[in-house]
Amino acid sequence: MDLPIVALLAQDGITNGAIYALLALALVLVFAVTRVIWVPSGEFLAYGTLTLAGLQLGKASGIAGLLAGMAVVAGAMEAWRSIGDGEARRLPARLALWTGLPLAIAAALYFIAPLQPPFFVQILLALTAVTALGPLLYRIAFQPVAEASVLVLLIVAVAVHFALVGLGLWFFGAEGSRTPPFTSASFELGGVTVSGQSVLVVATSIALIFALALFFNRTLYGRALRATAVNRVGARLAGISPGFAGTLTFTLGALMCAFCGVLIGPITTVYYDSGFLISLKGFVGAIFGGLVTYPAAAAGSLLVGVLESFSSFWASAFKEVIVFTLIIPVLLWLSLTTQHHEEDE
């Protein structure tokens, strides 16, 4: 094991770690605001890559159909709620948001896909489509049980995960896909070849993390989400609607995961069921921050990526064992250092 190999392994580990970090941040964000352990985050990643790969071939009917179907269900739920609450007056606006907008995205996807637009437009389309699934999913699956215990929310999340994996097999088929690289450039850095792709992944991850930090610290909506995360009841008293906070969180989370999918597409082959294992590694990273601290989650994810890379060199047969065993000392340490308090339900 000489220096070039160490450098290559480190580069590989950091690239993967950056993707795990984005996933970990999405997990922490969703958990902090809505208390949902977001098991299906990996599916959003896989959907991101596979939708983009499908667009390359001029196909997007599966995801467009899913969007349209969910839009109709969400619209029906909104109609039911509006009439039940005697707010029929507000129904048109709600329908425009919950049914009209997703239907418009689905239609755009369906009609633009066969035209084979430029790569950049394809990326935007894939991101928009997969991101739109986030709030719809929250409206349909999570909002009706938003006040339930963490365990109930977890069970719902697992159910959603299985549903999305099954739908993924149906839409995208059993075989995997790759997307073309954003850049084939590579350059020498102190005698080590660094691929432009890795730099791009790390740079965009960092940029996105900074953008999120700005959003949470400087904007009203970001502060509203932080307030909800700190104290749901207090935030509600201060006029922040929990439904709105949940919807916004799921939109952001879905965007981050879909973005990961776009980043990871050129690096590896993604399958309809790839997402779970990748998000599990993001989850290990998130555990470092106890599912609440963003910097610790990001650092933990980087560690997971680097550990994975080096253990695949030293003992490839035990790679997953090594990575997932990492969670035990971390949990032990967390359980010894943090004060545990039961959630009042």
Partner 1 sequence: MVARMLRRPLVAGLAIAFAFAAQSARADINVGVTLSATGPAASLGIPEKNTFDLVPTTIGGQKINWIVLDDGSDTTKAVQNAKKLVAENKVDVIVGSTITPASLAMIDTAVEAETPMISMAASARIVDPGNPKTRWIFKTPQSDSLMADAIAVSMKANGVQTMGYIGFADAYGDGWLAEIKRSAQTAGIRVIAEEKYNRNDTSVTGQVLKIVAAKPDAVLVGAAGTPGATPQKELVSRGYKGRIYQTHGVANPDFLRVVGKDGSGTLLPVGPMLVYEQLPDSNPVKKVAADYINKYEARFGTRSTFGGHAWDAYLLLNAAIPEALKRAQPGSKEFRAALRDALEKANVVATHGVYVMTPNDHNGLDNRARTMVRIDNDKWVVSR
Beta bridge partners of 192: 189
Work out which of 69, 268, 299, 324 binds partner 1, going by CB under 8 A. 268
Work out which of 5, 83, 124, 145 binds partner 1, going by CB under 8 A. 5
Please name which of 17, 12, 33 lies closest in space to residue 222, comparing C-alpha atoms.
33
Q: Is 303 in the site for partner 1 (CB under 8 A)?
A: no
Scanning 151-159, 225-233, 236-244, 266-274 for contacts with partner 1 by CB under 8 A, the matching segment is: 266-274
Work out which of 176, 242, 243, 290 binds partner 1, going by CB under 8 A. 176
What SS3 state is found at 269? coil
Length of the chain: 345
Least distance from C-beta 267 to partner 1, angstroms?
A: 7
Report residue 157 as tokens: 């999340």
C-alpha to C-alpha distances, 211 to 48, 137, 206, 220, 303, nearest whole angstrom = 20, 24, 9, 14, 22
What SS3 state is found at 137? helix
Please name which of 56, 48, 27, 185 lies closest in space to residue 115, comparing C-alpha atoms.
56
With respect to partner 1, which residue has the nearer C-beta, 237 or 317?
Answer: 317
DSSP string, 90-118: GHHHHHIIIIIHHHHHHHHHHHHGGG---
Q: What are the residue ranges of helices labelled H in 85-190?
A: 91-95, 101-112, 119-137, 150-172
At 174, the amino acid letter reads A
Work out which of 274, 287, 300, 302 binds partner 1, going by CB under 8 A. 274
Q: Is 116 in the site for partner 1 (CB under 8 A)?
A: no
Residues 6+ apart with CB under 8 A from 327: 284, 287
Q: Is 267 in the site for partner 1 (CB under 8 A)?
A: yes
Q: Is 8 in the site for partner 1 (CB under 8 A)?
A: yes
With respect to partner 1, which residue has the nearer C-beta, 78 or 308?
Answer: 308
Q: Is 309 in the site for partner 1 (CB under 8 A)?
A: yes
DSSP letter, residue 177 = B
With respect to partner 1, which residue has the nearer C-beta, 162 or 333?
Answer: 162
With respect to partner 1, which residue has the nearer C-beta, 250 or 271?
Answer: 271
With respect to partner 1, which residue has the nearer C-beta, 35 or 281?
Answer: 281
Work out which of 182, 271, 283, 288 binds partner 1, going by CB under 8 A. 271
Site for partner 1 in 14-53 (CB under 8 A): 15-16, 19
Chain residues in the site for partner 1 (CB under 8 A): 5, 8-9, 12, 15-16, 19, 166, 169, 173-178, 264, 267-269, 271, 273-274, 277-278, 308-314, 316-317, 319-320
